[in-house]
Structure 1
């Protein structure tokens, strides 16, 4: 229980803590719930804030702005809760994605995809520097021809020429059609 005796607290400090808890707990729970939209978690967060203050053994009667301290502590705890929920959700999505496709076919397809990308990347590294820079900016950075021209301070015609020559060289090195090369490059 939150009010049990603690050797570092005298009865005045305990009464002050109890008074603060009773006065602010309901409104802090409401406040926390408005931030995180989860009543149970809001109650837990608010209780945790009081427990942490209890463990620090403060004299609540000395605080002029105990209300402000409590609201700030609850707000910060709610923001931490939200960040943790985001991390948990991302992990759950990643796990669900992997579990959904855990089949051997999926794993083999991902290995093949990784190897194809490795080969394409190796072939890209063998292109002349100008073509390699253009291909990198177009496909890896996702820039359009005009942006690449501005970035490299060359004409759009030159960008298109390097792109065409780069795709031709990749087709020749990889032995695949231009459409396959473009599709693979789009996933780099």
Structure 2
């Protein structure tokens, strides 16, 4: 296609002429896919990049500024997108390699199975609290009620609720002291 026709097609494209867009697409699509495939060695990805280019060409037609031939612009755009994709793939592969290496180096199955035993131990420790203390603890930690709300609900003073919570936390702290390193960030041990 000659430059004169390209300029005419670009002018018409900017005016939302669908026929001009279709002509550009039919003229360059196959060549751009082949060009991208030579960069990537992946026909499907090259086609995806070319399709994205045409979608952007249409959606940004109003603000399109091309200071070279349309042909040159399209081939440069595909080349740049292919290079970006290659770079992104390298970064992603490097990250996956780093994660795999760290996992292989640091992985210890007991770290993952401890959680099951620990949650059972926490549940058993909570159940071992005296009835009223257990009820107050659960209202606070499981339902998120404030001390005043618990006091109102149970007909107790706020001071009594505070005392029961303090004693519950102390008892849990003692029963679970062997696991304290694993409680960082856990809600039930905010105040331990």
Q: TM-score scaled to structure 1, two decimals?
A: 0.45
